[in-house]
Structure 1
Amino acid sequence: MPKVTEAHRAARRDEIVGAALRCFAAKGYQRTSMADVIEESGLSAGAIYGYFAGKQELFAAVAARVLEARRGELDARRAHGAPLVPGQVMATLIDGMRHEPFGHVIVQLWAEAAVDPEMRGLVQSVLTRVRDTVRPRLVEWASAEPGRVQGDPEEWATRVLPVVLGAVPGFMIQREIAADFDEEAFLRALPEVFPH
């Protein structure tokens, strides 16, 4: 029997995550079953379960892929000059999220996390990763701009991080519910609202 290479395993795993992302985007998290992911991927159940124990592990993998794409966008935007101001960090993060096919499912997942302890644990792990992505960028900006923030840059970043991250649910909920919500105006306003 030929040995499966690590590259092949990584490609197969990525293929499964892509199928799960498409299913979650089309049906939402709750209405997506493992059978849906198996059908979408075109793989056998054994192939899927060889990589993921179930739907929650798939959700975590999809969230990790989405977050990694946002980190790449932040790094690319930062590569062109000075540290991004907090509003630019959030505008970049939110702009990328709104173009994900998975984006509209996020509000559903937050609602589920409020009542389902297992889902809460998954969403909290994603939130921790988002915090770990944004906080160093806040510290970098505050360190490059002495006198612009009160106190030590590390302490300032810790203090304002929950407020800054509040822009994400604000955007996502209004986008899903408010008929007159102007996405572009929201993104343009972020650098005005947060320190710059």
Structure 2
Amino acid sequence: MPKVTAAYREARRDEIIDAALRAFAAKGFQGTSMADVIAETGLSAGAIYGHFAGKKELFAAVAGRVLDSRSTELEAQRGGGEPLPPGQIIATLLDGMRREPFSNVIVQLWAEAAVDDEMRLLVQGVFHRLRETVRARLLEWAAADPRRVDGDPEEWATRLAPVVLGLGPGYMVQRLIVDDFDDEAYLRTLIEALPH
């Protein structure tokens, strides 16, 4: 039997995450079973469980994939030029989220994390990565011209990161449940309202 390479395992894992993203986007977290994910991949149950212990771990991997895409978009938005200001950082993240087929499931993910300790730990890991991404971008902007902020840029970025991230859930929830929510205006106003 040929030896399975790390690259092959990683490609198979990515294939499973892609299929899970489609399944969760179509049916939500509660409505998606592991059988749905298995059917979506066309692989055996053993092939799936060889990479993921269960639905919660798979859901966290999908959320991590979505976060990685947002980090790539932030880098592309900067394009090697000046660091992005705070409003542009969060607007770029949210603009990317609204284009994700998985975006409507994010609110379900938060709700599950609020009542399920295992899910909370998984979501916390993804959220800590997101907060660090935002903190690093804020620090980059503040350090480029320390006169922009009051005090040490590192401390400022650390304080501001959770505040900036707090704007995301408001956007995501309103976008899902408020019929007359103007998401374009929200994103424009973020850019205007935060330091620039």
TM-score, scaled to structure 2: 0.97
Summarize the alignment of residues 67-146 of structure 1 with structure 2, pairs less than 5 Å apart: 67-146=67-146
Tell me which stretches of 4 or more aligned residues in structure 1 moved more than 2 Å: none
In 2: Cα distance, 1:119 partner to 1:57 partner: 8
Cα deviations across residues 152-182 of structure 1 (Å, max 9, x unaligned)?
0010011111111111101100000110011
- AA partner of residue 115 (structure 1): V
The sequence identity of aligned pairs, in percent, is: 71
- 1:16 match: 16
Structure 2: segments with no counterpart, 5+ residues: none
Instruction: Report the Cα offset of residue 123 of structure 1.
Output: 1.5
- AA partner of residue 192 (structure 2): E
Instruction: Report the Cα offset of residue 7 of structure 1.
Output: 2.1
Summarize the alignment of residues 164-175 of structure 1 with structure 2, pairs less than 5 Å apart: 164-175=164-175
- 1:65 match: 65
In 2: Cα distance, 1:9 partner to 1:111 partner: 32
TM-score, scaled to structure 1: 0.97
CA contact (8 A) 2:135 2:160 kept: no
Structure 1: segments with no counterpart, 5+ residues: none
Q: Secondary structure at the match of 1:150?
A: coil
Most deviating of 131-140 and 73-82: 73-82
Instruction: Report the Cα offset of residue 4 of structure 1.
Output: 1.8
In 1: Cα distance, 2:160 partner to 2:55 partner: 34
Cα deviations across residues 38-83 of structure 1 (Å, max 9, x unaligned)?
0110000011111111111111211111111111111111124100
In 2: Cα distance, 1:132 partner to 1:160 partner: 11
- AA partner of residue 48 (structure 2): I
In 1: Cα distance, 2:135 partner to 2:127 partner: 12
In 1: Cα distance, 2:4 partner to 2:123 partner: 33
In 2: Cα distance, 1:52 partner to 1:44 partner: 13
- 1:185 match: 185
Cα deviations across residues 101-155 of structure 1 (Å, max 9, x unaligned)?
1100111111121122122112111110100111000001011122111100010
In 1: Cα distance, 2:105 partner to 2:50 partner: 26
In 2: Cα distance, 1:112 partner to 1:92 partner: 26
Number of residue-to-residue matches in the alignment: 196
In 2: Cα distance, 1:188 partner to 1:40 partner: 38
In 1: Cα distance, 2:68 partner to 2:113 partner: 22
In 2: Cα distance, 1:167 partner to 1:145 partner: 24
In 2: Cα distance, 1:82 partner to 1:190 partner: 19
Of Structure 1 and Structure 2, which has the larger fraction of its residues in helix?
2
Summarize the alignment of residues 26-41 of structure 1 with structure 2, pairs less than 5 Å apart: 26-41=26-41
